[in-house]
Amino acid sequence: QLQLQESGPGLVKPSETLSLTCTVSGGSITSSTYYWGWIRQPPGKGLEWIGSVYYSGSTYYNPSLKSRLTISVDTSKNQFSLKLSSVTAADTAVYYCARRHSGGAYQYVDYWGRGTLVTVSS
Amino acid sequence: DIQMTQSPSSLSASVGDGVTITCRASQTIGNYLNWYQQKPGKAPKLLIYAASSLQSGVPSRFSGSGSGTDFTLTISSLQPEDFATYYCQQSYSTLSITFGQGTRLEIK
């Protein structure tokens, strides 16, 4: 059974860089069928797609976050990572890592991590 | 970006009722539309993809329809475990995925 697990600091200071890692177990991150991505949810609000990475390193970013965002993949560790720079309180959210099925014409998120709350505060 | 608008934002219903949630896209997206269910404190769960295809393991009381700009999620006979928040998501623009704002389904 595929599992995704987020890890990283739960508290980040304003203007610093938020860094999270997602470890994938029960499946290979190098499968050609999937993209791997990040989605966030501010407390009490809806879902926002952050960006995705393919095992080759190709990335797609939310245009509104692109200037602050880096998503990378480490196939040797079956992990992918998120770095969001210059954070503010508006970046406080539960961050989910997820698998996006891309094997056919239709794409959808079929596996999610449990999510990790990141709070931006001094 | 393609904007997704759900209605209603919330609704109340009773066990056994049928309910319909609507999602509208700001431009035509074919049938590149997915539905997710989220319970408090949990990650979302995929219910339907490609507007009407039921994800494996999802009960048949859930169904989806629509194409172009207008889509619906229908739950035919509400069960206690169905009270949750539901999100639509377009996958037409794979470079920029967007979600609806959510519909909260509460017990009456």
Tell me the per-residue pLDDT of A7-39, one tens digit each, with 9 for 90 and over.
999 999 999 999 999 999 999 999 999 999 999
- Both tokens of A67, joined, read 């200037």
Beta bridge partners of B85: B38, B104
Tell me the per-residue pLDDT of B6-42, one tens digit each, with 9 for 90 and over.
999 999 999 999 999 999 999 999 999 999 999 999 9
Q: For A49, which of B98, B100, B102 is closest by C-beta distance?
A: B98
| Residue A1 binned pLDDT confidence (cut-offs 50, 70, 90) | very high
Provide, as residue numbers in chain B, all residues whose Cβ is less than 8 Å from the Cβ of A105: 50
**Cβ neighbours of A67 (radius 10 Å):** 9
How far B83 CA sits from the closest chain A CA (Å)?
16
- How far is Cα A111 from Cα B56, in angstroms, rounded to an integer? 12
- Residues 6 or more apart whose Cβ sits within 8 Å of residue B20: B72, B73, B74
Distances (CA, A) of B69 to A88, B47, B52, B62, B90: 35, 19, 14, 20, 10
A63–B1 C-beta distance less than 8 A: yes
- How far is Cα A59 from Cα A57, in angstroms, rounded to an integer? 6
A60–B94 C-beta distance less than 8 A: yes
Tell me the per-residue pLDDT of A46-76, one tens digit each, with 9 for 90 and over.
999 999 999 999 999 999 999 999 999 999 9
B100–A109 C-beta distance less than 8 A: no
Q: For A47, which of B87, B94, B95 is closest by C-beta distance?
A: B87
B95–A106 C-beta distance less than 8 A: no
| Residue A89 binned pLDDT confidence (cut-offs 50, 70, 90) | very high
